Amino acid sequence: MRRRALSALPLLLLAGCASLSALDPLRVQLAGLEPLPSEGLELRFLAKLRVQNPNAQDVPFNGVSVELTLQGNAVASGVSNASGTLPAYGEAVLDLPVSLSAVSVARTVLDFILGKGSPSIEYAMRGKLGTGWGAMRFESRGQVDMTGGLGAQNDVQRSVPPV
């Protein structure tokens, strides 16, 4: 009896992984930034991430991490041990403290000013939402056209399936 239960365990695990890969990717957007006390050459913000679950099942989570790049340079990152459940076809706003390196931002701005005359700034936000079975990765990227103000252009958002 015990041997049968143990032999069925790998099949159950595979079935569980297969059901997770069938999930649609989460949608994650930056909903706001609030300043936090800073230290030295580091700026701190409380990022508000809007996470949308386009799936027919709840997604429990137990942690979140994010990295922001501008022009390919990592400029900010943050982690939080927040936990909860994203409701099926629902959303939540997660608070995430992020650190922004003033040196990295200055280097990126200098690269942009001294660059090849590109009229736009490329950005990317990558991260993952921890789950009990691994992580659900997400990525949002686009460009900000600097010639016509700060309107986002060519905005692309995608998520990576769970690992």
Residue 91 lies in a domain: yes
Q: Give yes or no for a contact between 101 and 117, defined as CB atoms under 8 angstroms apart.
A: no
Residue 115 lies inside a defined structural domain of this protein: yes
Q: How many domains does the chain have?
A: 1
45 occurs within a structural domain: yes
Residue 109 is assigned to a structural domain of this protein: yes
Query: Average pLDDT over the chain, rounded to whole?
Result: 79
CATH number of the domain within which 150 lies = 2.60.40.10
Give me the half-sphere count of Cα atoms (radius 13 Å) on the Cβ side of residue 23: 28
Q: Does 71 map to a domain? A: yes
Q: Which of 80, 73, 65 is nearest to 101 (CA)?
A: 73
Buried b (16+ CB within 10 A) or exposed e, 9-29: eeeeeeeeeeebeebebbbbb
Dump pLDDT digits (tens) for 122-140. 889 999 999 877 899 999 8
Q: Which domain holds residue 74?
A: 25-160
- The pLDDT assigned to 84 comes to 94
pLDDT higher than 60, residue 76? yes
With respect to residue 11, please indicate whether it lies within any of the assigned structural domains: no
- The pLDDT, as a whole number, for residue 154 is 45
First-to-last alpha carbon distance for the chain, in angstroms, is 32
Q: Is 6 contained in some domain?
A: no
Q: Tell whether 33 is covered by a domain.
A: yes
The mean-pLDDT minimum among 3-7, 22-26, 36-40, 152-156 falls in: 152-156
Q: Does residue 163 contact residue 135 with C-beta atoms inside 8 Å?
A: yes
With a cut of 50, say whether residue 48 has pLDDT above it: yes
pTM, 2 dp: 0.70
Length of the chain: 163
